[in-house]
Structure 1
Amino acid sequence: MKGSTTRCCWSAIAIGVFLLADATARAESSDSTGDAVNGRRLFVSKGCFQCHGRLGQGGSFVTAVPMLAGVEWPLEGFAQVLREPYGDMPTYSEAVLSSKEVTDIYAYLRSLPAPPEPKDVPEILKR
């Protein structure tokens, strides 16, 4: 009888750990989804569009500003670049952009379509 009680306890612990991990994962995924509509508003109001373009298309070869539309990167990496940028990009500290606002901007950028491949652009537009 004692062996079956021990198995029940371990099973209950395993189920509890699984449910806790599942709840944590769901909370993290809902926190990281963000509000794309608010993200668009912030992208414009904080001046991000001035360099990256209103649709995240980036700068020209002259300005060499990275394209943000259609780029896949983790939220953590995106936030790190905002907090500790390289090149001429200004620093967006927590005082300037909260973590929630960073997540919203990230959601907006993730909602933008990637630009078409050069092979998919009609010939008339390539001239």
Structure 2
Amino acid sequence: MSKLFSKEHEWVDVLNDDIVRVGITDYAQQELGDIVFVENPEVDETVTANESMGTIESVKTVSEIYVPVSGVVVKINEELDDEPELVNTNPEDEGWLVEIKITDREGLTNLMNREEYQNFIENGGE
């Protein structure tokens, strides 16, 4: 399955039946500018779709990270502790944020495919 996207500019990559990897989109990192710090949730923390699960700090601003699906955090990208700039250089691969064991697969149906997301940002992305 290819990546899915939220209106808050996060992406979701379904790794298997119940584990997804989440990050911010290339569009989001361009809007933020140079990332200097990422505050992720803790492993075993329960997260709820469309609620904040952490923050990303750039030289311009601090932004909330909204979780696109509900579940439990099973892994965080610890490389971001020392190299937050991975979110800038490779946001949709090495710059991933967390892996979540989803509790409601139905939440995936609320997300957009890449083409729908491109149309969304071309039309203002708000």
What band does the TM-score fall into relative to the shorter chain?
under 0.3
Task: Using structure 2 for the length normalisation, give the TM-score.
Answer: 0.25
Look at both structures and tell me which one has the larger radius of gyration over its CA atoms: 1
Task: Using structure 1 for the length normalisation, give the TM-score.
Answer: 0.25
Greater share of strand residues, 1 or 2? 2
Greater share of helix residues, 1 or 2? 1
